[in-house]
Every structure is written in C-alpha cells, then in structure tokens.
C-alpha cells in the first residue's frame, strides 16, 4: 500500500538471490565430494523461484519454493586406486558443472545488486517525501 511494500518486495528478492548464491557456493565447494553423509556422491542442487503474489492480478516479491537436486548422471572417472572405485575401477564423481555454477553466481549477484538499487532509490524517495512542505 505504500513505498514500504517496495522494501518488502526487494528484500524478499534479496533473500531469494542470496539463497541461490549459497546453493551455488555449496555446489562449487562440493564439486569433488565423492561421498556425503549417506555414502553417495554429492549431487548439484538448484533453487526454484516462485512469485509471492496470490492472484494473477497481484504483484509481489519472490521466494524459494524448493531446492531440487540435479538429475543429471554422475560423472564417472577412471581411478582404479581410489578406495571408492567400483569393480571396473570407476569412481562416481558429483554432477556439478562449474561453468553452470559460475553463470548462476554472476546472474544471482547481478539480480541482488539490481534489488539493492531499487531499495536505495525507494529510500531516497521516501525520505524526500517526509520533508514535503518544509523549507
């Protein structure tokens, strides 16, 4: 109803984008994790964004609806001396694509910046509105 809801919209987007950055960081960090708590290799994760508007005609912010695992097949590497190698000498490596992750990270940080700018200009407008009639 007011300029304050712009803060709400932008901050929801910033939260969502930083969560996307977190997921990307986790993927990058685990690009070579051959074994997780469940004994399986790490699988790349992706966030799913969803708009917060209730009806088609409304506007709203954004939220992370789910964090899904990438269904791409695991990368097989031939390392016969590896302790986790199978009978043929192959080790299942995570399906993380470093190039995808870099692109995702850049896109997330750009969107984050854009939302900060929106917030910043709204703040200036709000402050100027507060001084209406003075001077």
Partner 1 sequence: MIDKLSSALNFHQEVLNLRQERLQVLAGNIANADTPNFKARDFDFGAELSRVMSQGREQPLALSTTSTLHAAGQAEGFVGVHDLRYRVPDQPSLDGNTVDMDRERAHFADNSVRYQASLTILNAMIQDLRTAMQPE
Phi–psi pair at 109, nearest 5 degrees: -70, -35
CB 35 → partner 1: shortest distance, Å?
A: 32
Beta bridge partner(s), residue 16: none
Phi–psi pair at 118, nearest 5 degrees: -60, -45
φ/ψ bin of 70: left (φ > 0), alpha (ψ from -120 to 50), beta (otherwise): beta
Give 34 or 62: the residue with its C-beta nearer to partner 1. Answer: 62
Distance CA 81, CA 65 (A): 42
CB 57 → partner 1: shortest distance, Å?
A: 6
The residues, ordered by sequence, that sit 6+ positions from 126 with a Cβ below 8 Å of its Cβ are 3, 4
Give 6 or 28: the residue with its C-beta nearer to partner 1. Answer: 6
CB 10 → partner 1: shortest distance, Å?
A: 6
Beta bridge partner(s), residue 48: 66
CB 30 → partner 1: shortest distance, Å?
A: 23
Residue 114: strand, helix, or coil? helix
Give 44 or 108: the residue with its C-beta nearer to partner 1. Answer: 108
Query: Which residues contact partner 1 by CB under 8 A?
Result: 1-3, 5-6, 9-10, 12-13, 17, 20, 48-55, 57-62, 107-108, 110-111, 114-115, 117-118, 121-122, 124-125, 128-129, 132-133, 135
Give 8 or 32: the residue with its C-beta nearer to partner 1. Answer: 8
Give 17 or 95: the residue with its C-beta nearer to partner 1. Answer: 17
């Amino acid at each position: 109803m007011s300029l304050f809801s712009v803060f709400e919209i932008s901050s929801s987007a910033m939260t969502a984008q930083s969560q996307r950055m977190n997921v990307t960081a986790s993927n990058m960090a685990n690009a070579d994790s051959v074994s997780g708590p469940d004994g399986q290799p790490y699988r790349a994760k992706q966030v799913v964004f969803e708009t917060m508007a209730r009806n088609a005609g409304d506007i709203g912010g954004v939220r992370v609806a789910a964090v899904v695992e990438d269904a791409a097949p695991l990368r097989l590497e031939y390392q016969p001396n590896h302790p986790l190698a199978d009978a043929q000498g192959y080790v299942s490596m995570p399906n993380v694509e470093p190039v995808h992750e870099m692109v995702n990270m850049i896109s997330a940080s750009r969107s984050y910046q854009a939302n900060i700018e929106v917030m910043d200009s709204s703040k200036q407008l709000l402050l100027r509105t507060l001084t209406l009639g003075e001077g």
